[in-house]
Structure 1
Amino acid sequence: MSHSGYPYQQHSPTVVPAHPFDPREDAHVLRKAMKGFGTDEKAIINVLTRRSNAQRLEIAIQFKTLFGKDLIGDLKSELSGNFERAIVALMTPLPQFYAKELHDAISGLGTDETVLIEVLCTLTNAEIWTIREAYQRTYRSNLERDLKGDTSGHFRRLMVSLCNGGRDESMVTNPVAAAADAQALYNAGEKIWGTDESTFNMVLCQRNHEQLRLIFQEYQKITGHDIEKAIKSEFSGDIQNGLLAVIRSIKNQPAFFAKCLNKSMKGLGTNDRDLVRLVVTRCEIDMGDIKREYLINHKESLADAIKGDTSGDYKRCLLALIGES
């Protein structure tokens, strides 16, 4: 899965493929780390946080070939808690991992809208199609149908639009069309009593990222304020959060993910599920950018936030993944 994000900036992963790479050797190291009394967690962290997702999957194949055992199964039996959660996430193919996160968000008690928003608002069309296929394969169920069954109203429409993966990805811009769209958004929201949500849905889910940045600038020119202010005054609840996520991730995706990370750690207790998902899915893409934005926007380094919020092998694992071990 290639990832979208800043079209005008180099990505800055904190986990890159290992060169040279010997999956058989790694399989032996992991086997030794789990054999006999006690587990060598440090050896497990050293191997798995310094390989790409594709390389980890190769190690699992070699592990099964050499020892006739399932690597994920062995890791699960040796590890526990959030450290186990992070390591199992690292060992899961990315589309399948996203599919599981979406499935759990929908099928749990109540819906975890933050997961739906974070995943569907930030990925490319191709990534969304791949995740839909993985979802269908794993759960024998259709992602769009499950989303419809578990959400309602305007938020449901936003999720269905996004999960179709039909955004224009050309990056071609048209200033005249941008001004017209900005005016249409103003007419559909702040200008009238009541809000025409479908206009927001259509523009925010269809236009390409570059074009949307132009539309946001035009909106500022028309109204004298940021489009986020309009969303906050015109919408509430899940649909407000969803539309704001689309806008923020398009304006600056690393800053959006930095905010998600901050939220996972700053509430009452840590949302470790969100923390693990964010670190594991972004470390091979733009974690360097996210760290920079975290420091700018939240006045402490991401490493310090993780240190203050986690402990033990779990902490060591996360710090290794963000390149701070």
Structure 2
Amino acid sequence: MEAVVRAMTQASADRDTTLIVCDAGADDHGPFDVRTVQPSRLRWLRTWRVIRALRDWAPDYVEVHQHAHSAPAIARAMADIPTVLYRHNATPAPKTARQRARYDARYRPLAGLVFVSDVVRDQFAIDYPALAERAHAVLNPIDVAPWSADPAVRAPLIVFSGRALPEKGLDLLCQALPAVLERRPDWRVRLLLNDWHMHGAWAAPHLVPLQQFGARVEVLTNQPMSVVRQSLQAAAIAVVPSVWQEPFGLSAVEAHAAGAAVISSGRGGLRLASGPHALYVDPLTPEALGEAMDALIADPARRLALAREGQAYVAREHTPARRAAELDALRRRIVEGAASPP
């Protein structure tokens, strides 16, 4: 999320008049105008501190990233300023009419909601039709330059990078890998597992079958972005076996940018992320994942072509300049709409 905010702000035509309000504690705020607030376990206190910082600055527009409870509170406190909630994941579907009504009431003060793909925006509109006209989509960008590496210079390495939770398909991948590693003794695997402190108890049993391969399988938890980037720049293959409807699929975009050939489930926004330049697995089973990995290992020319095409695709389609221009235009429409009489 932070990477998206940084990339969008850096490329925005309004960068010089943009203020970022965030929790204190970061070592490097980059070239941006930043005001920090002290974090608090009390949600209301933290929100109040943000509101106070915003009032001091007197903005024309407020964009709250991901904090679904804070955004409506800010919108109510600053009713004359259009406030937008920027969702980096999907909004849970309502289980009952009462729950839908509660969400409708919560989001009513907002001038809009921005989602990271058409997939989640469209689903939100179906789930919450009363808010459909306020829902918008802007795909995530990536600055390819720091990720880019030559797809032809690769280690025999398969990489998975994602949170260690069921939705990411880690269990299916762990079931598929033993047979692949047995057939391909020169190949290695690196699993980069985030949020291990939250989901390690679920993930750990699925890793047990891989222990027989010793140093050929690396499991690294909660790694910095630099390690993720270096791993993908070295990998010949990256696997994104998400079983849920991915809001967008930034992990796939990062793998493409780094020059890896991508195997993907294609669920949710993953096809928007990769276009036709991933090897899609459907049905998503351990056997099908194993066959896909085997197919790319056995065909270096196909693997290299897929990697090069994917890298070129994200460099062309998912640029910060393009996405920031889309977001800038959306912001202006929202501000102009708020200023127009009903």
Q: What is the TM-score when the length of structure 2 is the normalising length?
A: 0.27
The structure whose RCO (Cα within 8 Å, separation 6+) is larger is 1
The structure with the greater share of residues assigned to strand is 2
The TM-score normalised by the length of structure 1 is: 0.28
